[in-house]
Each structure stands twice: as C-alpha cells, then as structure tokens.
Structure 1
Amino acid sequence: MSNTSKIYVKNLGKFVTGVYGKSFLDVLREAGVSIRADCGGIGECGKCRIVIEKGFSSPLTESEKRFLSIDEISKGFRLACQAKVIDGEYIVSIPQESILQRYRSADVGFEKEVALKPLVKKVFIVTNPASLEDVRSDLDRVLDEVFKKVSLGDVDVDAYVAKIVPNALRLGRWSATVVFWKNKILTIEPGDTSNRVYGVAVDIGTSKVVAHLVDLVSGETVAVESMPNPQASYGADIISRISYAIKDGSNLEKLQKLVISAVNILIDRMVSRTGVDKSNIYEVVVAGNTAMHHLFLGIDPRYLGLSPYVPAVRRGVYAFAKEIGININERGVVYALPVVAGYVGSDALADAIAVDLDNCDAPCLLIDIGTNSEILLNTGREILACSTPAGPAFEGATIEFGMRAVAGAIDQVFIYFDKSIGDYNVRYSVVGNAKPVGICGSALIDAIANLYKNGLIDSRGRFKNNVNSKRIVVENNRKKFVIAWASETGINKNITIDGRDINEFLLAKAAVAAGINVLLKHANITAENLSKIFVAGSFGTHINIENAITTGLLPKTDTRKYIFVGNTAISGAKMALKSSDVREKFEELAKKIKYIELTIHPLFKQEFINSLQLPPNHT
C-alpha cells in the first residue's frame, strides 16, 4: 500500500504529494510552495495558515487552539506546521496572507562613486603563429604578449588553462583574450572579447535577496532584481534558521540550495532582460549578515549560536562559482566579503563603506534595522559596532495582522480625533492600492506612535480605561484598536492592533534602542553630539522618522540629522565588485571595527529595561 496522499493546492492549481505523518508545512515547502512560517514551523507565530477543504488530518494542537478562532476552525483552517497528513486525498487552499510574496523593498541605495578597478580583467593579445623558428609553448606565447600590456607579477595557471590554450589560440587565428581574476587566469577565449565583462553584486538578507548586474567595462548597473529569501519558510529570523540547519545533517545543504537557487533565479531574470550572456559574467560578490554568509557558503553555523558566537572565518573568501552551483561562466568566481563578528556581517561593513562612515568629520551613527539590527558608531576616534536581536516583529512575524510590505499591506497610518463624528478616525495607505489584508512594520510604528500621542495608550503600551471609542473593541478579553473595519479589508475582518502586538513591538524596539544607547554611552557621546545618523535597509527607508522617535526606536535629536540611505548593503557589495581598492578597504575595516558584545556589556540589561516603555513627554 502507498504511504502517500495526493494534495491539490486549490488556489495555486498545483498537485503535491504528501507522505503520511509529515506536516503540511514540510510537504508544501518540499514541493516548492512558498508558504510563510516565520517561527520556522514550531507553532509559535500562527502565520502558516491553510484551509483543508477536503480530507482528514491530525487532531488540533494547543498551538492551533491559541491562534485560530472557533469560526476559523469550523471553516477548516489549520496551521500547516501542526496539521499532519494522515490518509486519502486532500484539497487545501492557502490564504493570501500566508503566501510568501515579493514585497516592496529598497533594492538600491546611496553609493559613492569609485574608480573602476575590478579584479576581473581581460587582456586581448595578438601573437605570431608557432613555427619551427619560434617554438615557444602556446602559454608562453600568450603571456609574453600579456606582460607587454599589463604588469601582474607571478601569474597563477592551472591545468584547465593548459588544456584550453592551444585551441583558443588557433580558433582565434593567433589572437585571444585572457581573462584574469587578480593574477589568476580564469580562462582564455578565442579572438577579442575584451568588451564583454560583467559581474553581479548580491545582498543576501534574512528577508530578501537583491542582485545587481554590472558592466565591468563601463561600470554601469544594467539590471536590478530582488525576491524574498526562500529560506524564510524555515524561519523568519537568524536563530530559527541556525536551529533548523543543525537539527539534521541534510538541512544545511537544503538551506544552502535554496539561497543558491534564489541567486540563480535573479541572474536568469537579469540576463533575460538585458540579453547579456551568462558566460560573460565572471564574478559574483556577496554581502550578508554572518549567518546568511555561512549558509550561502555551506559552513556549519552552529557556533554562531553558541557563546562566544564566533564565525568560522572573518576574512573574505572565494570559490569557483561552479563548485557551489552559481550559474555564470564555468570558471567564474564567487567572492564572499569579510565579516566583523558572529552577528555583524559583511552587510554592515558594506553599509559603512557605502556611506563612508570611517571618514565622518564628527561622530556619526549608522543603523540598519531588521530582524537582526546592526549599529555602527564612528566616535571620531574609533568605530564601534554591535548587533541587536530585534526579532521579526518589524516584519510582522509576531504581530496578529503583521505582514511584510507586499500588496495589501497597510504601510502608513494616521490616527486623529474626528470632530465630525465625535470619535477617533484613521487614515491609511496600502501597498499596491489594494484592499488591506494586514499591516507592515512602518505602519505599526505609525499606529503605536499615534495611539500614544492621542492618549489612547500609556507609556507601557496599555490601553487607557477612560477612553470611549467605537474603534476600541474587545475580543477574547483583549482590547484592540481597529485600524481598518472588516468592510474595508480584503479578508472580511477587522484589522486591529492589541496590547500583545504593542508589547511585541516594544520588545523589538527596546533591543534596538538599547543597542544604540549602549554604544553612545560606551563612547561618552549623546545623540546631540552626532553629526549624522544614517538609516539603512528596506525597513528604514519607509518609516516615519518623527513617529520612530516618538516610540523611542530612534534617538531624539534634530530630524535633519537623519539620512535615509536605502539598501547600502548592495551598494557596498557593488563598490567592492567594481574596485579592488574598495575590497582592500573591506578587509581593513573588518579588522579596525571594535565589536561590542551586548550580552556581556554592563549597561545593556538596564538600557533594555529602560527602553521597554515609550518615552515620556509625548502625550
């Protein structure tokens, strides 16, 4: 007898096969269905909702009873991570809010101009044919001409080059193009191909992957693509993915393949749009936090999660693209930029390089807010860095109606007392001008700041008892504020914020605020002493700075000091792709930055506790 079931995913029009005893989440993920599982599938986020329209599954679990209403349960809603395949055939559907979607992100960022000096270079040569009077080897003949044009010192030649040089020279009628990476010959191509040199810069974020295709002859960016990081189905945050990777010997390989596949998809999209031949892409430069760096390279990440949280390698490392499965020229190189520490990666370094942080005239701060937020401070004497585990609240994982900034996400909120109705009213905007289905991080900040400024919640985020409003409703003994009424939404129910959501936000913002405060106090600097505060990353690009200050997420100071710089991680990676000098600067800065481990810093615990409340004097 077969021990598998046929499962029809109705709204995707796709059949998948499920093995008895496996959770629907595992079955769907293994079939390539991108379903949200922000907690990694341990039943702690409630985001992996499915509707079983036909078929019997395992009994409801306590997690499901906690996250699903009685009405939802009656309609067949289950959590995919909890419900198991038992027998027979199934028809399931996945609600829109449970599908991983392409979301609005900062795919570009501020980028300093750099002199074009890539590590990949081509040298076109023409040589005399071999003859009885000139019996130099084919390779010597090529290198003699190369050295007339460029100075390279010792040239690294491997057996592959020795194999291809005879035919390359003769097919090109004694002309050829030698492709170098540093002083290593990657390949030799017949004729003149010197005007066709491309590279790809990649930012592997916890939530998304961004890629830029760059013409290394002109320095121009010819295409940009991004997509959600498919590893998100195995956990929205770094720790969830590390835990999954070390649980089973094959899991690390699975996570690596997912992100390699994502990079290849982005490369395919870019070459499809531009007509660039993948054989003319010779290097991929990768930035990412340290966990993403390890998972991309297939390095066991377990020691990043164990004290003293050290990475396997700090310096930049390379591999042939073919070895790890990146589909560019078969001799192309993948270069992973250096990291600073276990939780400050090459993305933070790239941020710093892109904004020229080490050359600030006066103390300056850089903040990249995400599930793992990096903070760098140039004190004027040294550069300090720390990392704060803010968790995925800013991206909606632990918020009841939370979601990323995909179509249907409320991304801006303004709450005010409307005298015409004698009650509080709400104005909001929605990504894609669609009907709202949830709320993303920027709107969460707006909502909490507005609730606080209007006196609807106190400094601990609790709803005040003396407020009378139709928008304050009680469900399951919890007060909730209605952002959008059910009649306005695409999910036919109120989109609300409750005390638990506010508490999740306060925990996340406290981690970021405490990290900032520790660095400032460690350096004996105040926010007023800062000349500039760079806010990097997709999340930072879309937040309202005044509301972020109102909630205490960002330091209270002159708002003119804040500079939104977008995705400077991709900008820094692209600068490194274009310039060997910049790459050297990455290595120098990685050694120069002083990492502050917050878990053992004497100030962190108290700063975190102090930051759990909303700042005073804003009501």
Structure 2
Amino acid sequence: MGTHTIIFTPTGLQATAEDGETVYEVGLKAGVDIQSICGGKGLCNRCQIEIDRGKHAKFKMDVTEDNYSKLSPTEKKAIHDGELPKGRRLSCRTKVRGNLVIDIPADSRERETSIQKKSTKFETKLNPAIRLYMVQLPIPTLEDNPSDGEALVKMLHDEHGLFVSPSHRMLIKLQGILRPSENKRTVIAVVRDGQVIIDVWPPSPFDLYGAAIDIGSTSIALYVFNLTTGEPVYETVAMNPQIRFGEDLMSRVSYIMMNKGGEVKLTAAIRTQIREMIAEAVKILELGDNQLLDVICVGNPIMHHLFIGANPIELGVAPFTLAIKDWVDIPAGQLDLGLSDMAQVSLFPLIGGHVGADTSAAYLTQIERMKGSSVLLVDIGTNAEIVLSHNGKVVAASSPTG
C-alpha cells in the first residue's frame, strides 16, 4: 500500500503512483506519451507497455510480478485475438502494486523523440565487397557439356579474371534460371570479395544495396547505399531501446551482472530495433529480398559485444578484456535481422577495452589528415573517444561524457 516510484523508459521520466492506480493514469499525470484513442477504457489496445522485471541498480529497484496486477480479462482477450504481443501489457489495465520500470515501445508512443544525425558526404573510391557480373553461358552439347556451375565459374574467369567458387544455394538457383530459357542462358552473378558466387539473378535492371549501421549508446543510425553508384539513398535514426536497462554503458553492464540472462535481453533489444529499421528501409525503397546483401556495423565495445551476442561483463572491470577484437563477418541469418540468408553482416575491429569500432571507422575516414605532424580526432557522444596522431604515432583514449 502507499505510494510507489514508476520509471518510464526510454525517456527516463520518473513518477509517483498510488497503490492501485493504472500505469496509464500515472503516465497521463506525468506527461508520458502513451497512445490511447479510447481514453484508457480498454477498447483500442494501443496503450501497450513492457514491464522490465529484475534488479535495477541504477534505480535501486527490484521489480517482481508482485509489483503489478495480473492479466485482466481485456488483456487475455487481446492476446487471444493477436492484438497484444507476448510480454506486453495494456497500461490502462495494469495496476501498480509496487515500484516499476516501464518501457514504452516505439509503436505505443504518442510523439516520437526527434534525434538529428545527418550523414556528411565526402569523396572516396567506390570498391564494394559485392559486385554484379552479367555473363552468357554457352549452350551445352554432347561434345562439350560442363555442369551449369562449371560453365559459370569458367565464364567469370575468362571474361572478368575471377577465380571464384560457387555456393550450394547458388547452384540450386542457377539451374532454375537457366532451364526455362535454354537458348539465352544469360545470368547475373552476385560475387562477394571476388571469390564466392553468393547468388544468381536472371537479367534484370536491379541494383545491389548495402547498409551502414552506427550502434550508439543512445541512438542507432542506419544508412543505405546503392553499391552500383555509391549514392546514399536512405537514412534514419532511432533511440537505442537498451536505455531502459541503463542510460550509460556501465549501468547496462551492472544490469547484466545483477540479472541472470540480462545480456540476452540487451542483445534481443538491439537486434529487434535494427531489424525494424531495416524492414522499414526495405519497404520504403521497395527492395527485393536479395538486394540488400551487405551490412557494416560500428559501435563501442559494449554495443559491439551485445549485438553479436558476446557477454560484455569483462568490460565492466579492469583490465577491460575484450571477447573479440578483430574484424568480424557473420551470416545475417545468425543475427535474426530479417535479411536474406545470403546477406553478410561485418563489424569493424575494436581498438581497446573502451575504444571501439566507431572510433576505428572515424579514424579510417580521416586517415590521410591524421598523417599530419599533430592531429587530434574527437568523437563526443554518450561516451567520448579521442585519437591523437603525432609524428607517426597514434594513441587513443575514451571517457564517459555525462
């Protein structure tokens, strides 16, 4: 009984609730933007929330099932009808029984937070990892009858100087493209790193696309590029949903330390957000399933580790040992990002315990300027990194900014 403290994320807004008040009522008084076209009457099913159970060192809370009411008949019906996803509650039907940490999903917010993060163009040589090659295969005869795969590999070598190997998926698809048009036998080979044929297309005007993702502590930025022309065609930014587990990196590591399986929650949160951003980009650009095949990601070491599924707990204490430091290539299917199985996600190398892939990328873009006698590169975000180049020697350091 009495009053309880309610924390709303990702905004971090704190409110006081009377025992028995609904989360919707508390949010309304506190100015939290929760959608509801029925005014909290339990009719529209739009005021959805997620209750973050577990220990929250930052807020000095331990949120359990006893801190809120059980599912109401309205919520049970919404779940049965497929209108309330698993793990969510209706704020207008959830009563407060104790301290709570409440996340407002993006699709339940009345007004979106505006984050400005525009890209800046600069001249560079276009050299994508994936390229398209159009070849016409010879018509097989009794005297010269190579397999489809052999014929494609040979033509790519003879016409483009490539030494490639075919993938199993590509070979199966190639047969389906060639057989209906035996007399034409023209295909487009999609080749990665000049070595592996990852896909084949029938002749078409389609281009390949790639994405660059900056996974920041506070926001995530997605940029999509046409890999044929090098032109940026789409960009968007969203808040990092991990904020509900802690505003800064160390508080998120602390959450993992204090909650068994906490790293799984943080990994799922970041991947879900990125999957939604990619899906929106693909929809707006009207891309086919196999057109977005290359994704490059950067981020600080903790964001990097959580995205790939590595536990960052060692980065919470000295000597801040990394699980992995080098460049990483991961089949997109392993990350559940909604991309083609032929897509690949790559992550820039990390520099040190708290100097990450985002700093590596920033240094790469300015590497010619950094060759001067004394040059300082500064990246100020939720965390700050500096890179100092002096007479051929380069050193880097990082620090929280808040």
Counterpart of 1:366 in structure 2 is 377
1:126 aligns with 2:122: no
Q: CA RMSD in A?
A: 3.2
Q: In the TM superposition, what whole-angstrom CA distance separates every residue of 1:42-90 from its partner, at most 9, and x where no partner exists?
A: 254xxxxxxxxxxxxxxxxxx6xxxxxxxxxxxxxxx896995255664
Mapped contact 2:165–2:197 kept (Cα < 8 A): no
1:9 aligns with 2:24: yes
Counterpart of 2:57 in structure 1 is 42
Counterpart of 1:250 in structure 2 is 261
Structure ranking higher on relative contact order (CA contacts 8 Å, 6+ apart): 1
Counterpart of 2:324 in structure 1 is 313
Counterpart of 1:169 in structure 2 is 178
Distance 1:86 1:269 in 2: 34
**Structure with the higher strand share, 1 or 2:** 2
Mapped contact 1:284–1:335 kept (Cα < 8 A): yes
Which aligned pairs between 1:257-406 and structure 2 lie closer than 5 A?
257-356=268-367, 359-390=370-401, 393=402
User: Structure 1 residues 121 and 246 mapped into 2: Cα distance closer, same or farther (>3 Å)?
Assistant: farther
Q: In the TM superposition, what whole-angstrom CA distance separates every residue of 1:320-358 from its partner, at most 9, and x where no partner exists?
A: 111111222221000111110110001011122223365
1:145 to 155, 160, 185: 155
Which aligned pairs between 1:154-193 and structure 2 lie closer than 5 A?
155-171=164-180, 173=182, 174-193=185-204
1:113 to 119, 123, 141: 123
User: Structure 1 residues 253 and 171 mapped into 2: Cα distance closer, same or farther (>3 Å)?
Assistant: farther
User: Structure 1 residues 248 and 85 mapped into 2: Cα distance closer, same or farther (>3 Å)?
Assistant: closer
Counterpart of 2:4 in structure 1 is none
Distance 1:199 1:322 in 2: 16
**Structure with the higher helix share, 1 or 2:** 1
User: Structure 1 residues 134 and 194 mapped into 2: Cα distance closer, same or farther (>3 Å)?
Assistant: farther
Partner SS for 2:171: helix
Mapped contact 2:51–2:103 kept (Cα < 8 A): no
Counterpart of 1:230 in structure 2 is 241
Q: In the TM superposition, what whole-angstrom CA distance separates every residue of 1:553-591 from its partner, at most 9, and x where no partner exists?
A: xxxxxxxxxxxxxxxxxxxxxxxxxxxxxxxxxxxxxxx
User: Structure 1 residues 80 and 299 mapped into 2: Cα distance closer, same or farther (>3 Å)?
Assistant: closer
Between the two proteins, the alignment pairs up a number of residues equal to 332
Distance 1:112 1:82 in 2: 51
Question: Match of 2:117, as an amino acid?
Answer: D
Deviation at 1:188, TM superposition (A): 3.0
Which aligned pairs between 1:567-578 and structure 2 lie closer than 5 A?
none
Mapped contact 1:203–1:288 kept (Cα < 8 A): yes
Which structure is larger by alpha-carbon Rg, 1 or 2?
A: 1
Distance 1:15 1:240 in 2: 36
User: Structure 1 residues 125 and 112 mapped into 2: Cα distance closer, same or farther (>3 Å)?
Assistant: same
Distance 1:292 1:117 in 2: 27
User: Structure 1 residues 307 and 215 mapped into 2: Cα distance closer, same or farther (>3 Å)?
Assistant: same
Distance 1:357 1:7 in 2: 58
Deviation at 1:145, TM superposition (A): 1.1
Mapped contact 1:378–1:384 kept (Cα < 8 A): yes
User: Structure 1 residues 170 and 190 mapped into 2: Cα distance closer, same or farther (>3 Å)?
Assistant: farther
Higher alpha-carbon deviation: 265-274 or 100-109 = 100-109
Partner SS for 1:350: helix
Deviation at 1:107, TM superposition (A): 2.1
Deviation at 1:205, TM superposition (A): 0.3
Give TM-score, length-normalised by structure 1: 0.49
Sequence identity percentage: 22
Q: In the TM superposition, what whole-angstrom CA distance separates every residue of 1:421-453 from its partner, at most 9, and x where no partner exists?
A: xxxxxxxxxxxxxxxxxxxxxxxxxxxxxxxxx
